[in-house]
Amino acid sequence: MKAVVQRVTRASVTVGGEQISAIGRGICVLLGISLEDTQKELEHMVRKILNLRVFEDEGGKHWSKSVMDKQYEVLCVSQFTLQCVLKGNKPDFHLAMPAEQAESFYQGFLEQLRKAYRPELIKDGKFGAYMQVHIQNDGPVTIELESPAPGAAASDPKQLSKLEKQQQRKEKTRAKGPSESSKERSAPRKEDRSATSGAEGDVSSEREP
């Protein structure tokens, strides 16, 4: 799932010359849903969008407050073109979720946003319609968000925890059995009296030319 989040002073959606939705200060979210997206990716994106710190605090400190902190509005617009792959210069959208599935998925996304925030502050466009989206970007501030690919944490070694790595090493060691060097280290050593006593056959003197 991909999203383009823009901090706005105002934003609206028009369909067929009629304004169907509008917000004042807040964020406008353009959302692209992929074939592989699940409830997990949906919940991840909802958390990120609502907690993204793109506003100032009361003291004027930048990047300190989220849309929820400020109690501002959110305008969401479904945009499958965010899942574009270029074939030469021609956009290809085979990675986007088909419209029949995407519509219910998008409605689920809106529902989660409303549950996590204030329902009356969440507005949206019209799914599948030809829309004109009017955005007055504040800053300008535009942030791109992308949910982790399904299974990415499990397949990427960098994402594995130290404990998991250690467990893997232990399992490999058990499978191979003790090495020759470890056997030698574990075998009892016979005391070399001549080397430690400094009497006949001093080891260090034998190495001298």
Q: Return the domain boundaries, the chain.
A: 2-145
pLDDT at 208 over 50: no
Q: What is the DSSP letter of 200?
A: S
Q: Which residues contact 5 (CB under 8 A, 6 or more apart)?
A: 27, 28, 29, 49, 52, 54, 142, 143, 144, 145
Query: Per-residue pLDDT averaged across 83-103, rounded?
Result: 96
DSSP E strands, 16-147: 18-23, 26-32, 73-78, 85-87, 90-92, 122-124, 131-146
pLDDT the model gives residue 161: 56
Query: Per-residue pLDDT averaged across 93-104, rounded?
Result: 96
pLDDT the model gives residue 158: 52
Instruction: Give the amino acid at 128.
Output: G
Evaluate whether 96 touches 35 at the Cβ level (below 8 Å): yes
Task: State pLDDT tens for residues 103-122.
Answer: 999 999 999 999 999 999 99
pLDDT band at 155 (very low <50, low <70, confident <90, very high): very low
Task: State pLDDT tens for residues 32-80.
Answer: 999 999 999 999 999 999 999 999 999 999 999 999 999 999 999 999 9
Task: State pLDDT tens for residues 180-195.
Answer: 545 555 555 555 444 4
* Among the listed residues 3, 13, 9, the one whose alpha carbon sits nearest the alpha carbon of residue 27: 9
Residue range 2-145, CATH number? 3.50.80.10
pLDDT the model gives residue 149: 76
What is the SS3 assignment for 90?
strand
